[in-house]
Amino acid sequence: MRDEILWQLVLGFAAISLVSVGGGIAVLPEMHRLVVETHQWMTDAEFARRYALAQAAPGPNVLVVGLLGWHVAGWVGMLVATISMTLPTSLLAFGFAKFRKRMAGKAWLKVIERGLVPVAVGLIAASGLILARGAATGWVTGALAIASTIFVWRTNYSPLWVLVTGALVGLAMGV
């Protein structure tokens, strides 16, 4: 049973990793499908909270998979999910490093890069909406989500302020 879950983590995240255009945040909708919809390992709200917890840690955003894996299968799940998400793309990059000189600065590479950007941005927006659906359930949290959207969009302050404010408002709600 446990082995079966670990294999589901390996196959699920390795597959997501290989289509992760635009890095960690853009694939959140697909991670949500895997852990919330397909396997129902956690709820919408739990998913949003895992993501929030991962934001409190530094490092590449893909590492959120560690917390999802941990929720599903403890420490082993955390390790398995993280390796499944990072190893396939790292191997691919290792293979492509050979062609680096030949690819570098090529016009067609720029065109592909430019073409992928709008897809990645659209997917990031979808990720935010999915997180908001899980996290912004009341009017206080809804207002918080809208306010932080506007803050990050319109100012150049560090987004960490948004998280600190969210924590303080959350604490005040709890009192």
CB of 66 to other proteins, least distance (A): 5
Number of amino acids touching other proteins (CB under 8 A): 109
Query: For residues 145-174, which are near other proteins according to CB under 8 A?
Result: 145-153, 158-160, 162-163, 165-171, 173-174
Residue in this structure with the two tokens 């150049």, named with its chain if needed: 156
Each residue of 38-58: b (16+ CB within 10 Å) or e? Answer: eeebbebeebbbbbbebeeee
Among 2, 58, 73, 76, the residue binding other proteins under the rule CB under 8 A is 58
Among 5, 8, 14, 23, the residue binding other proteins under the rule CB under 8 A is 23
The four Cα atoms 63, 65, 69, 70 give a dihedral, to 10 degrees, of 40
Among 6, 9, 16, 36, the residue binding other proteins under the rule CB under 8 A is 16
Query: What does the alpha-carbon distance between residue 17 and residue 27 come to, in Å, rounded to a whole number?
Result: 8
Query: For residues 119-138, which are near other proteins according to CB under 8 A?
Result: 119-132, 134-137
